[in-house]
Structure 1
């Protein structure tokens, strides 16, 4: 190899070393940050998995306590926080409280549920409204169902109005609920009976030709 070639290689090596001296710290720092980010993400994933497993175990423990009629069941349900697990456990707790003739406790349990899911919120409101009507708090039930749009919710609103002696409004609610149901729906027959009880007369649906 020629002397000039060796000189060129030496010069190139010196340039590389000089570049590393100037940029090595930043390069190493960047690599370290990258590795830290990867490690942090893995830690977060593992942390999330552990949390989900823990709350799933708490949920099962709450259900077991409810099934066993354990006095600590209510505390176990509250300990779940506000999430889907709490909603499901609270609905189950309220159901068991109703069966045990603990109506006021069931009302309190249902009121503790906070769900942003419209379908879940309607289920909670319907169950709560029925209990409130039974507890002579029909006006509170009406407030819950003020914006009701489904046949079942409108019918329960009619129940609240009937309990308050608002027979004409109850008739209107039952009739409105029936218009949203298929003619063959079993729920329609029940609404016809309620409408009759409220002093109304069910209209026979016209036969299709």
Structure 2
């Protein structure tokens, strides 16, 4: 609403009344929507916090059962976390735990399926980056370097850039693509701080494929 600076007080008052007559409904609707959004956001935040607490409690039960070597209880609780709390970090922890058990039993296919299923049930970018990385490592370990490279290309790595680049380098080595491997390892080094322990490992990998 724009008021004429030369209008009298009475005209100003009338202009305000007119503006309210024309806009009151829209203002009230806006206020109501704002309040609903505020309380809706609070409700959603509380819901998410409750889910995190529930998932944390269930994960703690898994750790307790693991310490007591209660295999069946571990498996059942972990499966429940994966199915009901896949959108939380604890759901991811359970996926990694179960996949590790699958690999220990020699069932890499089951482990890969767990990772793929987890990707279908979480939209959290950070969690997805971890899952893609673990899946690519599994594929490479099972002799599928091309699939590993394809998997690593599925998502922007963010803070996992160095780990992604190193694994790309490992895959290129398996494929005999040494120039690409060197480039990937160099990228991995660039993304590490000067005091990072993995710098030594990456330097060794580069030395192993150095040009004659």
User: TM class by shorter-chain length?
Assistant: 0.5 to 0.7
Instruction: State whether structure 2 residue 108 is matched by structure 1 residue 108.
Output: no
The residue number in structure 2 matching 1:188 is: 199
**Kept in 2: contact 1:151–1:181 (CA 8 A):** yes
**Aligned pair in 2 of structure 1 residues 65, 57: CA closer, same or farther (>3 Å)?**
same
State how far apart, in whole Å, the 2-side matches of 1:173 and 1:179 are: 10
State how far apart, in whole Å, the 1-side matches of 2:165 and 2:55 are: 36
The residue number in structure 2 matching 1:120 is: 127
The residue number in structure 1 matching 2:72 is: 70
TM-score norm. by structure 1 comes to 0.59
**Kept in 2: contact 1:77–1:86 (CA 8 A):** yes
Which residues of structure 1 form unaligned runs of 5+? Answer: 1-40, 202-209
Aligned residues: 157
**Aligned pair in 2 of structure 1 residues 185, 82: CA closer, same or farther (>3 Å)?**
closer
Which residues of structure 2 form unaligned runs of 5+? Answer: 1-39
More helix by percentage: 2
State how far apart, in whole Å, the 2-side matches of 1:182 and 1:54 are: 36
Aligned-pair CA distance for 1:189 = 0.6
TM-score norm. by structure 2 comes to 0.59
State how far apart, in whole Å, the 2-side matches of 1:194 and 1:105 are: 30
Larger Rg: 1
State how far apart, in whole Å, the 2-side matches of 1:199 and 1:54 are: 51
Please state whether the residue corresponding to 1:185 is helix, strand or coil. coil
Please state whether the residue corresponding to 2:181 is helix, strand or coil. helix
State how far apart, in whole Å, the 2-side matches of 1:61 and 1:186 are: 33
State how far apart, in whole Å, the 1-side matches of 2:190 and 2:55 are: 44
The residue number in structure 2 matching 1:179 is: 190
Provide the aligned C-alpha RMSD in A.
3.4
- Tell me whether 113-122 or 67-76 shows the greater mean CA deviation: 67-76
**Kept in 1: contact 2:149–2:171 (CA 8 A):** yes
Post-superposition CA distance 1:116-141 (Å, at most 9, x none): 22222221111111110011111111
Aligned-pair CA distance for 1:68 = 3.2
State how far apart, in whole Å, the 2-side matches of 1:54 and 1:174 are: 41
**Kept in 1: contact 2:55–2:85 (CA 8 A):** no
The residue number in structure 2 matching 1:95 is: 100
Aligned-pair CA distance for 1:169 = 0.2
Alignment of 1:139-158 (within 5 A): 139-146=146-153, 147-148=156-157, 150-158=161-169
- Tell me whether 56-65 or 124-133 shows the greater mean CA deviation: 56-65
